[in-house]
Structure 1
Amino acid sequence: MTRHPYLSPDAPRVLAHRGLVTPDAAALGIAENSFAAVAEAHAAGAVYVESDCHLTADGVVVLFHDDDLQRVAGDPRAIADVRVHELEELMADRGGLITLAQALEAFPDVRFNLDVKAAAAAEGVGRLVAPHAERVLVTSFSDERRLEALRAAATAGAARRPATSPGSATVARLVAARALHQTRRVRALLADVDALQIPEKQGPLRLVTPGLLRDAHAAGVEVHVWTVNDESDMAQLLDAGVDGLVTDRADAALALVNERGTATV
């Protein structure tokens, strides 16, 4: 399988989870997934920013994790019921709203890992990322939403499909196929993805195992683990051979990766 340009150069990769909000920035009221959070991640040296996509009432794709404003702004309204100018006002003193179009334009050297959170956003995500497919990975817990976004990118004229990571149903099938030693099934499930983005554990079940890493790497698929904030956990996962860390502490993870890289020269 040919490596997608999103995954070049070689790993390990640090994916700034919803941008970067340092303790100092949080004390000032800066929110995750804001323009300031993406800018802070970029300033810290993050090449990859993980974010989430919702659609506003007036059809604008915005970077926002929750489907409502309660946690971030104390407002119970759903993102789908709010117009973009209202979101801009609400986010003005929280780091600033950032739309997907703005993110792609304002940060041309950032590679975005986009989780399609709302079904209504899938088509818009695909259309917007089509000219930037070489630096975008599209994912979702829902394979249906993920595939709809990829189809929309193709329809919008993407020169190649964006990179992609499977949804939770596909991951569950992969884990089951590995447990049953269904080698062909495992290969088939990994055939059309570029990265496997998973938590280290799901309840009592450990997902990141030496066997899974071997199978993924044999298929040319990277393994990115979320959400890893403890530095000792970061080091252990890198030692185990994972290819990427999705973290709220991108600054600490980048320092660790750079230190380890220097140490191995």
Structure 2
Amino acid sequence: MTRHPYLFPDAPRVLAHRGLVTPDAAEHGVVENSFAAVASAHAAGAAYVESDCHLTADGEVVLFHDDDLRRVADDPRAIADVRLHELEDLMSERGGLITLAQALEAFPEVRFNLDVKAAAAADGVGRLVAPHADRVLVTSFSDERRLAALAAAEAAGAAQRPATSPGSATVARLLAALALRRTRRVRALLDGLDALQIPERQGPVRVVTPGLVRAAHAAGVEVHVWTVNAEDDMARLLDAGVDGLVTDRTDAALALVNERGTPSV
């Protein structure tokens, strides 16, 4: 399998989880997935920013994790019920709203890892990332949403498909196939993927295992683990062969990777 341009040069990779919000920025009201958070990650040297996509009431794809505004703005409304200008007003003192179109235009050197959080956003995500497919990875907990976004990118004339990581159902099937030692099934499930973006554990289940890392690498698929904030865990996972760390502590992860003599990307 030919490696996707999104994954050049070699790992390890540090993916800024929803951008970077330092303690000082948080004290000044900056929140995750804001324009300021993305800019801060870029300024810290992060080549990759992980974010999330929702659709506003007037059809704009915005970088936002939750499906409503309760946690971020103490507002009960759903993102899908709020118009763009209203969301811009709410985010004006929280680091500034950033749409997906703005993110791709304002940060042409950044590679975006986009989680499609709403089915309604899939088509818009695909269309917007089509001209930038070499520097975008599309994922979702829902394989249906992920595949819809990839199809929309193709329909919009993308020169190649964006990189992609599977949804939770595919990951569950992969873990079952590994446990049953169904080698052909494992290979089939990994076919067409570029990365496995997974937690180290899911409740009592250990997701990241030596066998999974070996199987992924044998298929040319990288393993990215989320969300890793303790430096000891970062070092341990890199020692175990994982290729990427999704982290809220981008600055610390970049420093650790560079100290180990393996320049991050």
Asked whether the two chains share a fold, i.e. TM above 0.5, the reply is yes
Offset at residue 38 of structure 1 (A): 0.0
For residues 212 and 167 of structure 1, the distance between their equivalents in structure 2, rounded to whole angstroms, comes to: 16
Q: Which residue does the alignment assign to 2:104?
A: 104
Q: Which residue does the alignment assign to 1:24?
A: 24
How many pairs align? 263
Q: Secondary structure at the match of 1:57?
A: coil
For residues 193 and 121 of structure 1, the distance between their equivalents in structure 2, rounded to whole angstroms, comes to: 21
Q: Are 2:143 and 1:148 equivalent residues in the alignment?
A: no
Structure 2 unpaired stretches of 5+:
none
For residues 137 and 262 of structure 1, the distance between their equivalents in structure 2, rounded to whole angstroms, comes to: 23
CA RMSD, 1 decimal = 0.8
Structure 1 unpaired stretches of 5+:
none
For residues 255 and 53 of structure 2, the distance between their equivalents in structure 1, rounded to whole angstroms, comes to: 28
Q: Which residue does the alignment assign to 2:133?
A: 133
Offset at residue 60 of structure 1 (A): 0.1
Match for 2:75: what amino acid?
A: D
- The 8 Å contact of residues 12 and 262 in structure 2, kept in 1 or not, is answered as no
Q: Which residue does the alignment assign to 2:70?
A: 70
Match for 1:105: what amino acid?
A: E
Offset at residue 152 of structure 1 (A): 0.1
For residues 148 and 24 of structure 2, the distance between their equivalents in structure 1, rounded to whole angstroms, comes to: 39
Percent identity among equivalent residues? 85
TM-score of the aligned structures, taking structure 1 as reference length? 0.99
Misfit runs of 4+, over 3 Å: none
For residues 116 and 252 of structure 1, the distance between their equivalents in structure 2, rounded to whole angstroms, comes to: 27
For residues 237 and 209 of structure 1, the distance between their equivalents in structure 2, rounded to whole angstroms, comes to: 10
For residues 205 and 90 of structure 1, the distance between their equivalents in structure 2, rounded to whole angstroms, comes to: 39
Which sits farther off after the overlay, 82-91 or 253-262?
253-262
For residues 205 and 59 of structure 1, the distance between their equivalents in structure 2, rounded to whole angstroms, comes to: 38
Q: How does 1:85-100 map to 2 (within 5 A)?
A: 85-100=85-100
Deviations 1:242-261 (CA, angstroms, capped at 9, x unpaired): 00000000000000001101
For residues 78 and 71 of structure 1, the distance between their equivalents in structure 2, rounded to whole angstroms, comes to: 11
Q: Are 2:160 and 1:166 equivalent residues in the alignment?
A: no
For residues 237 and 24 of structure 1, the distance between their equivalents in structure 2, rounded to whole angstroms, comes to: 28
Offset at residue 238 of structure 1 (A): 0.4
For residues 151 and 66 of structure 1, the distance between their equivalents in structure 2, rounded to whole angstroms, comes to: 24
For residues 185 and 35 of structure 2, the distance between their equivalents in structure 1, rounded to whole angstroms, comes to: 42
- The 8 Å contact of residues 187 and 219 in structure 2, kept in 1 or not, is answered as yes
Offset at residue 262 of structure 1 (A): 6.2
Q: Which residue does the alignment assign to 1:57?
A: 57
For residues 196 and 147 of structure 1, the distance between their equivalents in structure 2, rounded to whole angstroms, comes to: 15
For residues 174 and 204 of structure 2, the distance between their equivalents in structure 1, rounded to whole angstroms, comes to: 17
